[in-house]
Structure 1
Amino acid sequence: MSKKQSFPTKADVLARTPDPAVRDMLRHMEQAGIDTPFDRFDAQKPHCGFGLNGTCCKNCHMGPCRITPKSPKGVCGADAHLIVARNLLRWTAAGVAAHGARGREVMLALKGAAEGTLDLPILGPEKVIATAKSFGIFDEAKPVQELAGEIALILLEDLCRTIPGPYKTLETLAPPERIKVWKELDILPIGAYHEVFEALHRTTTGTDGDWQNVAAQILRCGLAFAWSSVVGSAIAMDCLYGLPKRSRIATNLGAITLDTVNIAVHGHSPVLVAAIVKAARSEELIAEARAAGAETIRLYGICCSGHSALAKFGDITPLANAAGAELTLATGALDLWVADVQDVFPGIMDVAACFHTRVVTTSDSARLPGAEHLAFDHHHSNLDQADRLASQIVRRGIQAYGERQAGKVFVPKARMEAEVGFSVENVVATFGGIDVLLDHLRSGRIRGVVNLVGCNNPKVVYEEAIVKVAEELIAHDILVFTNGCAAFALLKMGFCLPEGLEGAGPGLNAALQPHRLPPVWHMGECLDNARASAFFRTTSAASEEPLTRLPLAFSSPEWSNEKGLGAALGFRLLGLNSYHCIAPPVAGSDRVADFFYRGTGEMLGSVMVVDEDPSRLAQRIVADFDARRRELGWSPAAAPTGRRLLALEAEKAHQHAHAHGHAHTHSHEEGQHHE
């Protein structure tokens, strides 16, 4: 077993988390006697060493078995290497299923919209046409509806293929150099459903006993995750709901208004959320809200439902990621909480019970005890009822508005503006072509690009690692993309504003200031890793260099779940290194650990780097980028700036407090208001 792990406490979070609203809510909930994920994390200590090392197996009921010097094999004879690999394979398969299941819903909706069985407009005709051309099915004589229907069928076939055949999404969109590598390794998937089916089969009692063979199946699942669960789902979303639109928004808890019906949407599935946005805009329901005493209806985003709807429709205020959801509920200012699928912790029900907030679940896959269920059914036979369900749901929020308990409302002042809605299409248009961005890379004005994402994990201080990595990267002229849970920290702390360039290096300022662009580009929800990978593939094609040689990378400092493992694998399979502050549970097997940390370097051209110190992790990215730049013969980047964004913001807050005669204890909160 590895050395004993030491993880942060709730007290550490209170002392070091970068967002003052988080500290305010943790203190408020403690005074109210309400548990948070950080309290529950502390209660779990000490953590199981076998679980941390990946050497606990409970796949059958002869165990659970754990590997020790006294018992080096489980009852069936599985050793540490096999057990660690099998556990990782099941995690990876779960990630494929998670993104794939909610992706299937939008693929079915696209199919229904194309066939006319659903009353849904196709809002992304340009994406439909571009995808049809990529798939080789474009015909000027075909209407957009027909093309959309054909695209939906291709995506669904790749998702659920049982008879081996061409994996069209992968073979059409993946770089040919990568496809050649995957074929040689014999890891090309048959279909997403099949690879999950096969993963569970291989890891069942007495089946696959070779850890290397299990590892190959992990890579197949990684490809299925990347090209169906992520890219396929993203294509369906962009076809149905249109490409992201850039806008400037307000975020953090201080953006909550108290004279409005406040409805939070939480989860990942866009179909019903899109209908809720439409319903909340309707004159009829706004009139009902006003009759109940509210000014209007406002929607707030929790986790990826907020990011997705925000990028597409612009009418949602992003508040918190999954780990911060309970803190947001405890403001007592939200009338209705709409929960669909994934990263909706059961703990939200305990918090909601302390306030007037009603909770509605909207998927048969994700029910919560005590919540009202207004949902699509198991067969998705009522997708055509989305508008009716949405109206019912919004009316629940209007009814709850009158039950709000003023004495229990506590909303921290922290508020920040941010720019959102970046995509490959609008970025390339802003610069006047990918060649301009490529010139910035070659010249060293942009040292490299990192896709900085991932859910949060209490094994590191909440949101601190994400912010510190981003701060160090932009200071070294590295452009940052973000999405999903990690994006909330960067939105809230000023990284997604042009003013954030104050903490960026001279090269990044030279490249971005003329376009009034921020140093961190918000690309949407976790599914929008597809946008980063598309940008990376576009850059590779324009430079005529394989991805393995370019200064591009993936980082999820605080990753915590199965989808996070899949996301890292997806970029690793493209030949890009992944960087993390939290290690995967592989320490119990030196062979599996070596495979994931270093062995994939020869196979895939990418390695995994883990450093619990986020500043050191960022420095490793910088060093690796500089090495790649030297190998390419590109110009060296400039020395980093000595300025760091949070220190600059803190100094502004300090000066603001002095100017207005405020006590220093309030300065950080004041600094979060962007004037």
Structure 2
Amino acid sequence: MEHSGRGSPMTMQEINTHRKSFPTKQQVMEQTPDPAVRAMLAHLEAQGVETLFDRFDAQKPQCGYGLAGTCCRHCNMGPCRITEKSPRGVCGADADVIVARNLLRWMAAGVSAHGARGREVMLALKAAAEGRFSRPIAGVEKVRAVARSFGIDDKGEEGNVTLEQLAGRIADRLLEDLSRTVPGPHGTLAAMAPPERIERWRELGILPISAYHEVFEALHRTGTGTDGDWRNLMTHLLRCGLAFAWSSVVGSAIAMDSLYGPPVRQRIAANFGALKAESVNIAIHGHSPVMASAIVQAAESPELVARARALGADGIRLYGICCSGLSSMYRYGAVHPLSNAVGAELILGTGALDLWVADMQDVLPGIMNVAECFHTIVVTTSDSCRLPGAVHIAFAADHGNLDQADEMAHRIVAMAVENFPRRQAANVFIPETSIDAEIGFSVENILADFGGAAALAEHLQTGRIRGIVNLVGCNNPKVVYEKAIKDVADVLLSKDILVLTNGCASFPLLKLGYCLPEALEKAGPGLQAALAGKGLPPVWHMGECLDNARASGLFRALADALGRPLPQMPFAFASPEWSNEKGLGAALSFRLMGLNSYHCVPAPVFGSDKVRRFLEEETEALLGSVMVVVADPGQLGERIATDLEERRNQLGL
């Protein structure tokens, strides 16, 4: 099913057809592309251990009104649902307003999600700059480059501004953009967004005040008896999208790279086979790098390593689940990527994890049910993310104990070591599938490989590279697990389209060999010619979900090199399996830059033809981009390739 945005809202019969397309667990076991995932699903089913895929089957049939976006629970006069018999809710809101309000609340949640994890690292950067957090400022060049972009004087009147002082001023600027209440310019956006885009956003009246303010205003507008104009709600959706992009994402990424340093290019083992039964095994799961970085350091403690060996282990080994695992992986190396959030229960089901560290976001409560079946201790490290039955060793709500990070990390790793002897060998099941992957791509090291943006842009200009797609997002059981991402990648590569990836969607590409130079055999002749001489893979792994900022930075550099505005460039954003509020924000961020977003899973806007048409057609005139939904991943890949060729033709490339 392809969505054009034309015609009437979907009927309930059409929605029923749509939800019947959702795969069963059995279909996932037969069709998911990773043989290790198939083996683990079969193993856990035989053991009687419930997973997300069982619960998804149990939820069927999913609520048709929820799929349409036409149910409303915002006040206690409801809940209301829109039908032919009752075309308006009790308050008088019609389907267009209800769908728009629901979507805007999702967007506000996405801004706050990435913003909350960003705030933690911004506070850590500020504390490190002021000597209250025992971390050196590792991103020296990043700090100096950002200071120049922000117009922060790196010399000062006396010529002795320290690196720490610069980092502190950057942290203050980022925190101000995150939380400003008095209207004023958004400093990060003004310093780093393309001028052409800023002018367009100003014309549309959507320049944000701050992330906090736009979330505050979104909840206000969608409250009882407030904004009843669906189009006005969509305008604020765009404003929230800019707050998401430039505070929650770019601002957070600046803080992370400033404090912990940029990615390091390296090769690492991925998938279940990277698990070693003879080691003390610790999984790092979530999104914040602050505690994760301290745990990486603690795991290298000679005292703890010696204790692990005394208990029969050969050492301490770390593994990455979701995004805090990915950001640790590309900075420190010895954090092996195993799974995205949806597959976390499968990793726990190996019985080989001694301790599981969960900080914030995409830590699904179901992991506790699987952990209880084995010996795994779960430790939560954020006041925002507690799990019943987990040990809580965390930063306080006010982050006043940041200075205790090393002590807490040492306690956590020590718990893992002491738990190792409790592991029962009979319960350990590790599918022997492992493959190396090249990781740690950034704008800086990519351009260094090619000798500058102009040289890489020349491959675009000549057509050896037909376009570049940021293939990212979460996972969703509404499609066969990880298959859509692989299928889209196969089509794009065959069409000489370079693929960037990060976050949860990157795991199948890591696990199935797409991030190795040998995968160039999947690419067309042009892409092979552009990359083979440099020993580069056809899929460049740029890190965690926040690292969409790296993709947008590369897009900006190449557009500038060709002297073209971004909305004309053969670039695109694709999140085939997106599933949460941050996924909505990520797609909207790229559309605001003038780049189309492509998906296999639709947004819950079936119930409003106006909202759907706004997203799929009207934003073309407003932003230069649209949302495209094609259920079949192979066809989605073909559609992306066709649209990129159309952009090339319009550019005269």
TM range (shorter): over 0.9
Q: CA deviation at 1:262?
A: 0.2
Measure the CA separation in 2 of the matches of 1:598 and 1:415. Answer: 44
Q: CA deviation at 1:541?
A: 1.2
CA deviation map 1:148-192 (0-9, x unaligned): 000000000000000001100001100000001100100011000
Equivalent positions of 1:216-235 (< 5 A) are 216-235=235-254
From 54, 61, 64, the equivalent of 1:39 is 54
Measure the CA separation in 2 of the matches of 1:630 and 1:215. Answer: 31
1:290 has 2:309 as partner: yes
Amino acid at match of 2:212: Y
Equivalent positions of 1:500-579 (< 5 A) are 500-579=519-598
From 180, 184, 196, the equivalent of 2:203 is 184
Q: CA deviation at 1:138?
A: 3.4
Equivalent positions of 1:41-60 (< 5 A) are 41-60=56-75
Q: CA deviation at 1:416?
A: 1.0
Measure the CA separation in 2 of the matches of 1:534 and 1:428. Answer: 11
1:107 has 2:108 as partner: no
From 38, 41, 47, the equivalent of 1:26 is 41
CA RMSD of aligned residues (A): 0.6
Partner of 1:211: 230
> Given that residues 268 and 334 in structure 2 are in contact (C-alpha distance below 8 angstroms), is that contact kept between their aligned partners in structure 1?
no
Partner of 2:6: none
Partner of 1:137: 152
Partner of 1:128: 143
Partner of 1:649: none
> Given that residues 317 and 335 in structure 2 are in contact (C-alpha distance below 8 angstroms), is that contact kept between their aligned partners in structure 1?
yes
1:14 has 2:16 as partner: no
Q: CA deviation at 1:543?
A: 1.1
Measure the CA separation in 2 of the matches of 1:155 and 1:405. Answer: 48
Q: CA deviation at 1:258?
A: 1.0
Measure the CA separation in 2 of the matches of 1:488 and 1:377. Answer: 31
Partner of 1:161: 180
Partner of 1:268: 287
Q: CA deviation at 1:437?
A: 0.5
> Given that residues 144 and 154 in structure 2 are in contact (C-alpha distance below 8 angstroms), is that contact kept between their aligned partners in structure 1?
no
Amino acid at match of 2:43: H
Q: CA deviation at 1:139?
A: 2.1
What SS class does the counterpart of residue 68 from structure 1 fall into?
Answer: coil
Measure the CA separation in 2 of the matches of 1:516 and 1:119. Answer: 38
> Given that residues 129 and 138 in structure 1 are in contact (C-alpha distance below 8 angstroms), is that contact kept between their aligned partners in structure 2?
no
Partner of 1:653: none
Q: Structure 1: any 5+ residue segments left out of the alignment? A: 635-675
Measure the CA separation in 1 of the matches of 2:77 and 2:339. Answer: 42
CA deviation map 1:96-130 (0-9, x unaligned): 00000010000000001111111110000000000
What SS class does the counterpart of residue 586 from structure 2 fall into?
Answer: helix
1:464 has 2:494 as partner: no
What SS class does the counterpart of residue 275 from structure 1 fall into?
Answer: helix
Q: Structure 2: any 5+ residue segments left out of the alignment? A: 1-10
Partner of 1:603: 622
From 465, 471, 474, the equivalent of 1:452 is 471
Moved over 6 A (4+): none
What SS class does the counterpart of residue 228 from structure 2 fall into?
Answer: coil
Measure the CA separation in 1 of the matches of 2:288 and 2:198. Answer: 30
Amino acid at match of 2:41: L
Measure the CA separation in 2 of the matches of 1:303 and 1:139. Answer: 36
1:319 has 2:334 as partner: no
What SS class does the counterpart of residue 545 from structure 1 fall into?
Answer: coil
Partner of 1:63: 78
Q: Which moved more, 1:538-547 or 1:17-26?
A: 538-547
Measure the CA separation in 2 of the matches of 1:307 and 1:497. Answer: 17
What SS class does the counterpart of residue 394 from structure 2 fall into?
Answer: strand
> Given that residues 299 and 316 in structure 1 are in contact (C-alpha distance below 8 angstroms), is that contact kept between their aligned partners in structure 2?
yes
1:74 has 2:93 as partner: no
CA deviation map 1:550-603 (0-9, x unaligned): 100000000000000000000000000000001100010000000011110000
CA deviation map 1:455-507 (0-9, x unaligned): 00000000000000001101111000000000001000110000000110101
The TM-score, its normalising length taken from structure 1, stands at 0.94
Identity, % of aligned pairs? 66
CA deviation map 1:627-671 (0-9, x unaligned): 11111111xxxxxxxxxxxxxxxxxxxxxxxxxxxxxxxxxxxxx
What SS class does the counterpart of residue 426 from structure 1 fall into?
Answer: helix
Measure the CA separation in 2 of the matches of 1:207 and 1:151. Answer: 37
Measure the CA separation in 2 of the matches of 1:222 and 1:36. Answer: 33
Measure the CA separation in 1 of the matches of 2:237 and 2:604. Answer: 14
What SS class does the counterpart of residue 263 from structure 1 fall into?
Answer: strand
Partner of 1:88: 103
Measure the CA separation in 1 of the matches of 2:355 and 2:246. Answer: 35
Partner of 2:458: 439
What SS class does the counterpart of residue 319 from structure 1 fall into?
Answer: strand
Q: CA deviation at 1:293?
A: 1.1
Amino acid at match of 1:103: G
What SS class does the counterpart of residue 299 from structure 2 fall into?
Answer: helix
What SS class does the counterpart of residue 318 from structure 1 fall into?
Answer: strand
> Given that residues 501 and 518 in structure 1 are in contact (C-alpha distance below 8 angstroms), is that contact kept between their aligned partners in structure 2?
yes
Amino acid at match of 2:64: G
Measure the CA separation in 1 of the matches of 2:187 and 2:310. Answer: 53
Measure the CA separation in 2 of the matches of 1:45 and 1:587. Answer: 19
Partner of 1:427: 446
Measure the CA separation in 2 of the matches of 1:448 and 1:323. Answer: 30
What SS class does the counterpart of residue 504 from structure 2 fall into?
Answer: helix
Measure the CA separation in 2 of the matches of 1:551 and 1:61. Answer: 48
Q: CA deviation at 1:249?
A: 0.5
CA deviation map 1:275-304 (0-9, x unaligned): 000000111111111111111100000000
CA deviation map 1:201-226 (0-9, x unaligned): 00010000101110011001100000
From 387, 392, 404, the equivalent of 2:411 is 392
Measure the CA separation in 1 of the matches of 2:512 and 2:138. Answer: 32
What SS class does the counterpart of residue 485 from structure 1 fall into?
Answer: coil
Measure the CA separation in 2 of the matches of 1:523 and 1:601. Answer: 28
Amino acid at match of 2:434: R
From 482, 496, 503, the equivalent of 2:501 is 482
> Given that residues 72 and 79 in structure 2 are in contact (C-alpha distance below 8 angstroms), is that contact kept between their aligned partners in structure 1?
yes
Q: CA deviation at 1:540?
A: 1.4
Measure the CA separation in 2 of the matches of 1:581 and 1:73. Answer: 30
Amino acid at match of 1:541: D
Measure the CA separation in 2 of the matches of 1:34 and 1:599. Answer: 47
Amino acid at match of 2:23: P
CA deviation map 1:212-256 (0-9, x unaligned): 110011001100000000000000000000010000000000110
What SS class does the counterpart of residue 375 from structure 1 fall into?
Answer: coil
Partner of 1:354: 373
Partner of 1:658: none
Measure the CA separation in 2 of the matches of 1:172 and 1:244. Answer: 23
1:256 has 2:275 as partner: yes
What SS class does the counterpart of residue 505 from structure 2 fall into?
Answer: helix
What SS class does the counterpart of residue 265 from structure 1 fall into?
Answer: strand
The TM-score, its normalising length taken from structure 2, stands at 0.97
Measure the CA separation in 2 of the matches of 1:338 and 1:66. Answer: 40
Amino acid at match of 1:87: N
